[in-house]
Amino acid sequence: MTLDLPPGSIELLPDMSVLLTRSRTLVLADTHFGKSAAFRARGLPVPEGDTAADLARIDLLLREHSVSQLVIAGDLLHARVGCTAEVLDLLLPWLEKSETTISLVEGNHDAKCGKNPLGKNWPLLNELTVDGFHILHNPDEELDNTSGFHLGGHLHPAVKIKDGTGTGFRTPVFWLRANQLVLPAFGSFTGGQFYRYQHEKDRLFTPLNNRVVELPSQLW
């Protein structure tokens, strides 16, 4: 699904990411690499493989959409204890060998990892602007800022779709509110959070059957 927003055209992709069509920039947020490793470090029997699987998902997106630049809008990493040799041995070569320009915005989880475990070649930015879109991690920090249009993550927005019988299903959403688009979490081992989507101009979009559709307000 393509949205025409004040800075320009943006495509919502079913794999929890967006494409800025003018510059072919792929933006995603909240990969939380190392989250499953952090759980295993605390004795929970969580399966491995999510880091490799999510990197493969990104590679597929880069190829399918002829991406010129990738921006990860915060929380690339999950926790210091999750920055294991196994995780970094997958992530660092992937970053170094990528043919796509990669920019990393610092998230709150990245900041808690201490000194950047990715090294000096991969500085973490506070924010950046691409095609007129201001990309940052926590959009709540700019909620009252009416200057420009913001893309962010951090909130992991999700919604429970009602079916009128007391049941339903939970799905991640892209949340368009005021002059912001909040992205769903990209990481496959990352959950979602329900919010009060109350403003009459709020719009929610969700991946469904390999495309993105807008959710009628009566469903949420």
What pLDDT is attached to residue 42?
63
Q: Specify the DSSP element, H or E, that contains 40.
A: helix 35-41
What pLDDT is attached to residue 45?
59
Could you read off the pLDDT of 172-205 as tens digits, one per residue? 999 999 899 999 999 998 888 888 776 778 999 9
Residues 101 and 70 sit within 8 Å (Cβ to Cβ): yes
d(CA 54, CA 30): 11
Average pLDDT for residues 122-144, to the nearest whole number? 93
Could you read off the pLDDT of 53-90 as tens digits, one per residue? 999 999 999 999 999 999 999 999 887 766 778 888 99
Show the tokens assigned to 96: 């170094």
d(CA 195, CA 176): 13
Sort 83 into a burial class: Cβ within 10 Å, 0-12 / 13-18 / 19+: buried
What pLDDT is attached to residue 113?
84
Give the position of tokens 């709150």: 108
Contacts of 14 (CB under 8 A, 6+ apart): 207, 208, 210, 211, 212
What pLDDT is attached to residue 81?
66
The pLDDT mean for the chain works out to 89
